[in-house]
């Protein structure tokens, strides 16, 4: 079995994914980090120099490569990855994979992202209120894709609670 974590930026996909992988004896791959290593360029620099569309194509290409050979692997996708092309439909048809949406409260996301606005999509937002409005709009647009996951788990401020919720739903 393999797990694919989806959700908005700062929902805990990488943090929870790494901890759960360790607990289950799985490998862990963060798609954004994987792309940065392969492309020898940060996600921010790819966005700046080559644009978002180029980055979304890279995501698709590398995700297909990773899933082709994954075994006992947890993959954390970028927040936008499930929303482009037919990614969710394709992921949900893969044998031996489960998609897990880490649904996270708007206030939690705002607090986490306001502390670290280095991400390309939000780096221009100056106030917490502007950030919260941006996230709310994005969540509304992306929820259609996120809610197609085979499992939906509330991502709380407690990593242990979130992990236990995931394990419970996997049984």
Question: Which residues participate in the annotated binding site for ATP?
Answer: 10-15, 119
Phi, psi of 127 (to 5 degrees): -110, 160
DSSP of 20-39? HHHHHT-EEEEHHHHHHHHH
Measure the CA–CA gap between 8 and 10, rounded to whole angstroms.
Answer: 6
Q: Look at residue 126 and give its three-state secondary structure.
A: coil
Measure the CA–CA gap between 128 and 53, rounded to whole angstroms.
Answer: 27
12, 6 contact by CB (below 8 A): no
Known binding-site residue numbers for substrate = 32, 56, 79, 142
Known binding-site residue numbers for Mg(2+) = 14
- DSSP state letter for 123: T
Known binding-site residue numbers = 10-15, 32, 56, 79, 119, 142
- C-alpha separations of 67 from 1, 63, 73, 97, 154 in Å: 11, 6, 9, 9, 25
């Amino acid at each position: 079995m393999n797990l694919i974590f989806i959700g908005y930026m700062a929902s805990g996909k990488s943090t929870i994914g790494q901890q759960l992988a360790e607990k289950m004896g799985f490998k862990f791959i963060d798609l954004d980090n994987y792309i940065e290593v392969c492309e020898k360029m940060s996600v921010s620099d790819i966005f700046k120099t080559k644009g978002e569309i180029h980055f979304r194509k890279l995501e698709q290409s590398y995700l297909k490569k990773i899933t082709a050979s994954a075994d006992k692997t947890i993959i954390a996708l970028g927040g936008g990855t499930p929303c482009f092309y037919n990614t969710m439909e394709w992921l949900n048809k893969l044998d031996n994979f489960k998609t897990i949406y880490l649904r996270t409260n708007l206030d939690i996301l705002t607090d986490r992202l306001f502390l670290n606005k280095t991400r390309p999509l939000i780096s221009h937002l100056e106030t917490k209120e502007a950030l919260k409005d941006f996230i709310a709009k994005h969540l509304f647009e992306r929820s259609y894709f996120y809610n197609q996951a085979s499992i939906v788990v509330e991502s709380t401020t407690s990593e242990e609670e979130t992990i236990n919720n995931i394990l419970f739903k996997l049984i």
